[in-house]
Amino acid sequence: MVYILLSALSLILATFYFKKLLKNNFKKSIHLPPVVKAWPLVGALYMLTKDPVNLIRKNYQKYGSVFTIKVLGQSVTLLIGPEVSRHFYTAADSELSQEEVFKFSVPMFGPGIAYGVSTEKRRQQFQFLTKGLRPQMLRYYIGQTLAEAQDYFSKWPDSGTIDLRHELEHLITLTTTRCLLGRDVRGNLNEEVSSLIRDLAGGVLPISFLFPYLPIPAHNRRDRARGQLYRIFSNIINSRKNSHQSEEDLLQTLLESTYKDGESNSNEQVIGILLAILFAGQYNAANAAIRTAVFLLQNKIYFSKALEEQKAVVHRYGSKIDFDILGEMDVLYRCIKEAIRLGSPTIITPRYCQKEFMVTTREGKEYTIPKGHIVATSPVMASRLDYVHKDPERYDPNRYLSTVEKEMSSHLFSDISFGGGRHPCPGETFTYNKLKTIWSYLIRNYELELDSSFPKGEWNGSDTILVHYKRRQLSF
């Protein structure tokens, strides 16, 4: 009996000792990512606000593909490059979640949508959007975009100098509104609504990510703007409902869609989703259109190639532009793709780490990312890695024709300009079609010359782009 008791006791002690040994060894083998040196508390916040791209680039060069920045005591771990991004894109939402990092959007769009609702409900809401972007709708949107572009450019005199940044920004707002929000919202898109939308966007400051409800003037303006937009949009929705007429737009899709539990969208939810879509699409698409302008006008050889392609397409189909014809504009597609690669508007895509995980770098270093960190990939940095793209800083739309480069950039999560994995951007095809429509119209109908005063170096998003233009007839 004593022998049995002693044996049991020694077994328990051995198990306990073994567990402790395992735990200690495990603890020892944990390698946290290197932490960027900055002034305590506010140091990195200042750099992150002032020049985030440079902050990421400098620390990537110094520390490699995984490093942690401390922002107001919160650890933000960057994962740069395909090797360390796999888990980020494939993990379940319960392991890497979005609500915590996108909570700043709740007071912008309302509590009943996107990051104010459960993951499942949000998934269904994004499915409504995907339904509103199905191929049949995309075909219709191309016609709407073309009509809007024709109307817009017809107001330009035959020649002159314009700020192409302002013009494209404005045109993208009009086309996005007309396609997605519908003709009735587009008809109401006056200066008042535009200024309310600006106030809503102005409510996103770095501090809003941590304290979205802080009573500061920008947040107060944001809340007032949402209230007024709600009143204006609600009237439009009610008159659409009362007219019993069906339109081909996202608004109609949202009004007709139901959740799995049979519930329909309330007016507040419809408005919230429309505003969120306007934000998700508008800024990024305008940025891509403007970047394309800058690169095409600076690299005349590609402008000429795009012009030759348009001549060939016009030769085949006349002035018609539709989904299939856009599909034949491969040069233009590559010119836009390259502009998005070099000027990706998305600096970081963040998640909140709910469950520890490990990453292994290209060099074979292993790091543990603990629960509680914010983890983020960086499309703007990932698209400029020299082991993925040859001479990455060069604007070279022909790089997508090279087999080596094609092979490298087709690696999983090398090209993340439009996200990927569990949360790919549902607006990618819509964006390419819109940009190709606008750019083919511009190239066909105008000679464009960049004003010599345009800065030669990296383009800062708010610079004006003075362009001389002259209306032309394509000659073959």
Annotated binding site for heme: 425
- Binding ligand HEM (rule: CB under 6 A), the pick from 55, 137, 277, 380 is 277
Q: Which of 189, 196, 178, 185 is nearest to 238 (CA)?
A: 185
What is the sign, positive or negative, of the torsion defined by CA atoms of 29, 31, 32, 36?
positive
CB count in 10 Å sphere of residue 9: 10
Bridge partner residues of 76 (DSSP): 69, 374
Least distance CB 31 / ligand HEM (angstroms): 26
d(CA 374, CA 160): 49
Q: Quick check: 280 binds ligand HEM (CB under 6 A)? A: yes
| Comparison of 129 and 229: residue with beta carbon closer to ligand HEM | 129
Q: Residues annotated as binding site? A: 425
| Comparison of 145 and 445: residue with beta carbon closer to ligand HEM | 145
Q: Which of the stretches 24-32, 161-169, 219-227, 416-424 binds ligand HEM when contact is defined by CB under 6 A?
A: 416-424
Q: Which of the stretches 232-240, 283-291, 362-370, 400-408 binds ligand HEM when contact is defined by CB under 6 A?
A: 283-291
**Residue 394: burial class (beta carbons within 10 Å; 0-12, 13-18, 19+):** exposed
Q: Is 409 helix (H, G, I), strand (E, B) or coil?
A: helix
| Comparison of 367 and 430: residue with beta carbon closer to ligand HEM | 430
- Binding ligand HEM (rule: CB under 6 A), the pick from 206, 419, 454, 466 is 419
| Comparison of 418 and 446: residue with beta carbon closer to ligand HEM | 418
Q: Quick check: 427 binds ligand HEM (CB under 6 A)? A: yes
- If DSSP states are collapsed to H, E and C, what string results for 142-187? HHHHHHHHHHHHCCCCCEEEEEHHHHHHHHHHHHHHHHHHCHHHHH
Q: Quick check: 281 binds ligand HEM (CB under 6 A)? A: yes
d(CA 392, CA 386): 6
Least distance CB 13 / ligand HEM (angstroms): 49
Q: Which of 267, 258, 263, 265 is nearest to 238 (CA)?
A: 267
Write the CA distances from 273 to 251, 326, 450, integer angstroms. Answer: 9, 28, 38
Q: Quick check: 202 binds ligand HEM (CB under 6 A)? A: no
Contacts of 8 (CB under 8 A, 6+ apart): none
- Binding ligand HEM (rule: CB under 6 A), the pick from 60, 209, 418, 446 is 418
Strand-by-strand arrangement of the 349-353 sheet: 66-71, 74-79, 374-377, 349-353, 96-97
| Comparison of 182 and 307: residue with beta carbon closer to ligand HEM | 182
Q: Using CB under 6 A as the criterion, what x/- string covers residues 228-267 for binding ligand HEM?
A: ----------------------------------------
- Binding ligand HEM (rule: CB under 6 A), the pick from 193, 425, 448, 466 is 425
Q: Quick check: 388 binds ligand HEM (CB under 6 A)? A: no
| Comparison of 81 and 379: residue with beta carbon closer to ligand HEM | 379
Q: Write out the binding residues for ligand HEM, residues 104-133 only, by CB under 6 A.
A: 126, 129
Write the CA distances from 145 to 152, 394, 432, 433, integer angstroms. Answer: 10, 31, 12, 9
- Binding ligand HEM (rule: CB under 6 A), the pick from 56, 285, 385, 408 is 285
CB count in 10 Å sphere of residue 321: 23
| Comparison of 107 and 427: residue with beta carbon closer to ligand HEM | 427
Q: Quick check: 200 binds ligand HEM (CB under 6 A)? A: no
**Residue 10: burial class (beta carbons within 10 Å; 0-12, 13-18, 19+):** exposed
Inter-residue contact 164 to 465 (CB < 8 Å): yes
- Binding ligand HEM (rule: CB under 6 A), the pick from 378, 431, 440, 445 is 431
- Binding ligand HEM (rule: CB under 6 A), the pick from 131, 423, 444, 468 is 423
Bridge partner residues of 369 (DSSP): 357
Least distance CB 345 / ligand HEM (angstroms): 5
DSSP state of 349: E
Applying CB under 6 A, the site for ligand HEM has a residue count of 22
Q: Write out the binding residues for ligand HEM, residues 345-384 only, by CB under 6 A.
A: 345-346, 349, 379
Q: Give residue number: closest CB to ligand HEM.
A: 427
Least distance CB 286 / ligand HEM (angstroms): 9
- Binding ligand HEM (rule: CB under 6 A), the pick from 172, 288, 307, 329 is 288
CB count in 10 Å sphere of residue 450: 18
Helix (H) or strand (E) holding 407: helix 403-409
Binding site for ligand HEM (CB under 6 A): 126, 129, 277, 280-281, 284-285, 288, 340, 345-346, 349, 379, 417-419, 423, 425-427, 430-431
